[in-house]
């Protein structure tokens, strides 16, 4: 059975989102065009950014997706929270303990959620 290894986020402005994720991920896309950009991540996962207006059939509401970044421990959550705040990311949940671990939540320019967490 095939397993997912590719995530696509629908974005309003591919260029702006490419710039955002290039800085966030610390790497440039491996492919870029006016309507699509593709990042190859160290984990082997591929992250695509597709211009929302070109997606067929048209997607539902903007945002609504979540990318999760697992880190080693709560100290790493706090450190990344501070780094992302310094970069000006929109933080929608300050570091907090939840059932699944210690986490915080930020958003990209299209309001996709970016969750950082450490398991308990």
Q: Is 30 exposed, middle or buried (0-12, 13-18, 19+ CB in 10 A)?
A: exposed
pLDDT at position 93 is 96
Which of the two residues, 116 and 64, has the higher pLDDT score? 116
Q: Is the pLDDT of residue 2 over 70?
A: no
Which of the two residues, 2 and 49, has the higher pLDDT score? 49
pLDDT at position 63 is 66
Q: CB within 8 A of 111, min separation 6: which ones? A: 62, 63, 64
Q: Looking at residues 19-44, what average pLDDT do you find?
A: 96
pLDDT in tens, 49-93: 999 999 988 887 766 788 999 999 999 999 999 999 999 999 999
pLDDT at position 1 is 67
């Amino acid at each position: 059975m095939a397993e997912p290894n590719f995530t696509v986020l629908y974005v309003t402005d591919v260029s702006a989102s490419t710039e955002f994720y290039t800085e966030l991920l610390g790497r440039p896309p491996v492919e870029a065009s006016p309507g699509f950009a593709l990042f190859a991540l160290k984990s082997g996962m591929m992250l695509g950014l597709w211009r929302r207006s070109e997606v067929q059939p048209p997607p539902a509401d903007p945002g609504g997706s979540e990318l999760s970044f697992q880190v080693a421990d709560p100290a790493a959550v706090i450190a990344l929270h501070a780094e992302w705040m310094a970069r000006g990311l929109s933080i929608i949940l300050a570091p907090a303990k939840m059932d699944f671990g210690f986490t915080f939540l930020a958003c990209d320019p299209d309001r996709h959620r970016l969750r950082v967490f450490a398991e308990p």
